[in-house]
Chain A
Amino acid sequence: MNIVVAIKHIPSIADDLPVKGNNVDFDSVDFVLNEWDEHSIEQAVLIKEAVGGTVTVIGVDLIGELDNALHLALAKGADKVAKITADDPAADSHTQAKWLAEAVKGMGADMVFAGVQASNDIDGQIGAMIAAYLDMPYIGGTSAIEVSGSAATVSKEFPGGVGMKYSITLPFVAGVQSAPKPPRYAPVSKVRQMAQTATVEKIAPTGEASSGLAFKKMAPPVATGHAEMIEGSSKEVAAKIVELLKSKGLA
């Protein structure tokens, strides 16, 4: 079983997001791994542990700092890692999907996983676009993938507690919403050991694509109103709430 996982580096929002011009100030922001990618790595490693195979993790290196995320993936159980040396922090998801598809093409993947979306652009398209470029079927929003032979059973969860299981023939591309188990913790000693011993394959970006979109303006949202906090002891607060309800004709 040959599983390729595409991961994405995105600006961290642990700090206040610095804005420069009409985009993020990429020079003064830390980059972190997209949250959903932790799930797609976990999903891939779980399949490998169940049926064997290799997991290759690949990402676009936007600012030359992707290695950390790749070492982390290795510590969690990935076998090989590769990075597309783009050095373009503003590359949009269409462009990244094209580069990834070109790099994955020769890897003979049975499955390609991407996180279902990334919180920097909430575009949710990279997985689907890779599928299109590779001419493979795509299934998004997965909550569990089980492989047996050349077919997979994919679970999805819908609002209202409804679940659905799909049968799908390999190869395919999946947008992983969540792994069936919480992503495992990689102890730092293992990550550091990987950092010392692992080799990261470097791939030059090939191909071109564009979403045709341009950033117009980026700014923190302006608050238009505030919730009123009722101060005082619990008795006073309760009295005020009753008063309010009465004044609105609700009690």
Chain B
Amino acid sequence: MLTTIEKIIFIILALTSAGFTFHGFKVIIDSIRRGRPAPELKNVPLSLVKAAITVLFQRTIFKARKGLSAIHMGLFFGLITYAFVNLFDALEGLVPGFDLIYGGKHIPNAPTGLVNAFNLIADVMSIFLLIAITVFFARRFIAKDKALNYRENVLLNPKVKAGGQARDSLIVDVFVVMHVIAHVLSQAYRLTDGADPFMPFASFLNSIFGASQTGVHVAWWVSIGWVMFIIPYLSRSKHTHFFMSPINLGLAKQNPRGQLDPAIPLTMIEGQKFDPGAKHIHDLSWKRVLDSYACVQCNRCQDVCPANFYGRPLSPSALEVNKRYLLKDATFGSHPDRLLLPLTETVISPEAVWSCTTCYACVRVCPVGNEPMADIVDIRRRMLIDGYEIDSGVQNALQSLATNGNWMSKGKRLRGRWAKEMQFPVKNATEEPVEHLWFVGDTASFDERVIPNTKLVAQLFHQGGLDFGILYQSESNAGNDVRRVGEEGLFEQLVEQNMEAFGKAQFKQIVTTDPHSFNTLKNEYPQFGGTFEVKHYTVTLLKLIEEGKLTVKNKLANYKVTFHDPCYLGRYNGGFTAPRKLLELLGVEFVEMPRNCENSFCCGAGGGQIWMGKVAPGERPAENRIKEALSTFGEGAGDKTQLFIVTCPKDMIMYSDAVKTTGNEGRIEVRDIIQLVAEAVGVDEVVAAESISA
């Protein structure tokens, strides 16, 4: 079809475009490679194939925003189709006589059926693409969807503030529209023998514009010319995600969710000394750098972030977007020096760094496998080493943890005091062998508000004939939150102390009250040689009931309850069923809150937030959660008591407070699941009376 001169121009343009594209991706890959080593990945080809399948079915985006996701899926299939469309367009231009219209009748021996099918798909997809783009365009520029905005107090790269993302989107929107129309027109102008039933859209345009050789040439050049421009442009825009998200998904975290990457890479590079954590962008592992290129800038992570909800200056998506713009300014722009600015000045404010609850919601929801939370922990790690002035409450907690092994400034010897008040001796696991080593945790051991529940757990274990013991003063805080605050050295010290205690004890498995301890004991202690079976007390209780060692005597039909999944039990470790099963066995009326299981909303205490001395104004996540529970209950509980059930000692405190501060006393009550089990099973007099009234 093309004249010789056109062919020469095409080849020159194609080579130039390829050159710019190659350069674009080389810059990106170099930048990613400058990141630190990341934990080793196993069987990468297989995970890449899996990721390709995930991408093909767009599985990960359906975790949120179902409607828009469906449209995105249309867009995605449209663009995939168009990759082939463009290939054939190029062939039509270069190979004389190559022409797909009318079932490819001009091509000798063409598989007519196949060609017709392709033509039909391409034609329909063109319409689809135009609709999808219109929806996305309307969403951003007409409806101005607030989910695409950032809070005023969030640190933003000046170019993002000035609307860089909107400009990128506009360019790509315009490209798709122009490109699709030009392509369909180029086909329409070819239809010299009237309508092709397999190309309804093109035939329709043909009925208006007719056939024209000049038309074919002009439309072809507009269509293909755009592609030559857009492909190198993509490497320099937010749409790099077309290429980088599938790769990122294929290289996503393989370790358990509850296992943080080390503060200093385990893979050493000769002659290179690493400080813990990250100050500059290339102190982050290469995977965290890749995250920023894979980021779709969709803000889904911001939607689910409890800190962002609370009005804190934290937005996980802004973090990724800022990283991206920082890299762009440094690599494609003229500011390589900016790479040496602290991340706390360029991508996330210090206040935002210290607002993260490490709830994992952002990582869970991200359709492309990004881990904004990991960056935050790494930045905290370096801030601590660099002597950044931290919140006084956090500092006090850490100092107490270093000297007393607990964050509450209590003496070690007081840890087992509650056990001495029981009516039966609670074994010391460092002195006699036990089957179950109960790791009680700080809050359950020391907090007067929670100790009555701790005693109930002990009582029911005892009644259920469980052979258990505790470590008394040899137990130290497990270190889960210490690690997430960024105090890696203290975490290691606590692990050593606990490992020493475990070494003195004889036991078959560990059972914990606190989901935070549960997480680190289960997922992180193995790296320090601590490979034991770890269970949460909800699982142990369920087993005791299922095996008939505890019997439900009174069904609790007088309660209408909902259940809050603690981040570190649920989202991190998939412990969704045991608590629900227990509630079912107890005979309560159970209703599920809209945000449940994987999508549970953090109480706001994790990642050291519970230690913070300063409390920010605004509606706290826990308060929002209590409101969610109440609206789930609706108005019709009748004479039933409405209960908010928790399975984490910290939740007991957070939510009891929230019920008070939202003025909902009398409407809803916070109870640990153990209180219900105790009521249903019935506990032996003495301790029960004392514990429940306490």
Contacts and interface: CB of A to CB of B under 8 A. Distances in A.
Interface in A172-219: 181-182, 184-185, 187-192
Interface stretch (A12-20, A89-97, A112-120, A236-244): A12-20
B156 to A, nearest CB: 30
A191 B392 CA distance: 19
A134 interface: no
B276 interface: yes
A187 B412 contact: no
Given A32-B403, A181-B389, A182-B389, A187 B409 contact: no
Contacts of B488: 189
B410 A14 contact: yes
Contacts of B599: none
A30 interface: yes
Say which size band chain B's interface belongs to: 20 to 34
Interface in B378-411: 384-385, 387, 389-390, 392, 395, 398-400, 402-404, 409-411
Contacts of B404: 14
A187 B489 contact: yes
A192 B489 contact: yes
A15 B385 contact: no
Given A14-B411, A182-B395, A192-B489, 20 more contacts: A12-B403, A14-B400, A14-B404, A15-B413, A16-B414, A30-B403, A30-B412, A32-B403, A182-B392, A184-B387, A185-B384, A185-B395, A185-B398, A187-B490, A188-B402, A188-B490, A189-B385, A189-B492, A191-B402, A192-B493
Contacts of B385: 187, 189-190
A35 to B, nearest CB: 11
20 contacts: A12-B411, A14-B400, A14-B403, A14-B404, A14-B409, A14-B410, A14-B414, A15-B410, A15-B412, A15-B413, A30-B412, A184-B389, A185-B399, A187-B487, A188-B402, A188-B489, A188-B492, A189-B492, A190-B385, A192-B489
Contacts of B395: 182, 185
Given A185-B398, A187-B384, A15 B414 contact: yes
Contacts of B400: 14
B668 to A, nearest CB: 16
Nearest to B410: A14
Given A182-B395, A185-B384, A185-B395, A15 B411 contact: yes
Interface of A is mostly: loop
Contacts of B413: 15
B276 A189 contact: yes
B489 A185 contact: no
Contact of A30 (B387, B389, B402, B411): B411
Nearest to A76: B387
A185 B490 contact: no
Nearest to A184: B387
Contacts of A190: 385, 489
B338 to A, nearest CB: 28
Contacts of A187: 384-385, 487, 489-490
A12, A16, A187: most-surrounded residue (chain B CB, <10 A): A187
B164 to A, nearest CB: 37
A14 B384 CA distance: 25
Interface SS of B by simple majority: helix
A166 to B, nearest CB: 27
Interface of A: 12, 14-16, 30, 32, 181-182, 184-185, 187-192, 234
Interface in B301-317: none
Interface string B671-694: 000000000000000000000000
A186 B408 CA distance: 18
A12 to B, nearest CB: 7
Contacts of B409: 14
Given A182-B389, A182-B392, A189 B489 contact: yes
Nearest to A30: B411
A234 B395 CA distance: 36
9 pairs of A and B residues whose beta carbons are closest in the complex? A15-B411, A189-B489, A188-B489, A14-B411, A188-B490, A185-B395, A187-B384, A15-B413, A188-B493
B410 A185 contact: no
Interface in B256-288: 276
B181 to A, nearest CB: 60
A191 B490 CA distance: 10
Nearest to B386: A187
- Find the residue from A181, A188, A190, A191 having the highest chain B CB count within 10 A: A188
A12 B403 CA distance: 10
Contacts of B490: 187-188
A183 B571 CA distance: 37
A15 B489 CA distance: 25
A12 B402 CA distance: 14
A55 to B, nearest CB: 15
A192 B404 CA distance: 16
A191 B409 CA distance: 20
Nearest to B409: A14
A187 B487 CA distance: 7
A188 B390 CA distance: 15
A232 B91 CA distance: 85
Nearest to A72: B402
A234 B665 CA distance: 10
A75 B96 CA distance: 78
Contacts of A182: 389, 392, 395
Contacts of B414: 14-16
Nearest to B394: A185
Nearest to A13: B411
Nearest to A182: B392
A219 to B, nearest CB: 19
Contacts of A32: 403
Contacts of B390: 185
A14 B409 CA distance: 6
A211 to B, nearest CB: 29
A30 B492 CA distance: 22
Contacts of B412: 14-15, 30
Given A188-B487, A189-B276, A16 B411 contact: yes
A15 B395 CA distance: 20
A16 B410 CA distance: 9
B506 to A, nearest CB: 27
Nearest to B404: A14
B694 to A, nearest CB: 13
A188 B488 CA distance: 8
Nearest to B406: A14
B90 to A, nearest CB: 58
B418 to A, nearest CB: 15
B611 to A, nearest CB: 12
A16 B414 CA distance: 8
Nearest to B385: A187
Contacts of B411: 12, 14-16, 30
A182 B395 CA distance: 10
Interface in B478-500: 487-490, 492-493
Nearest to B411: A15
B626 to A, nearest CB: 18
Contacts of B487: 187-188
Contacts of A14: 400, 403-404, 409-412, 414
Nearest to A185: B395
A61 B412 CA distance: 23
A199 B488 CA distance: 25
A188 B482 CA distance: 11
B121 to A, nearest CB: 60
Contacts of A188: 402, 487, 489-490, 492-493
A16 B417 CA distance: 11
A182 B440 CA distance: 33
Interface centre among A12, A14, A234 (most CB of B within 10 A): A14
A192 B402 CA distance: 11
Contacts of A15: 410-414
A187 B486 CA distance: 10
A207 B665 CA distance: 66
A234 B409 CA distance: 32
Nearest to B401: A188
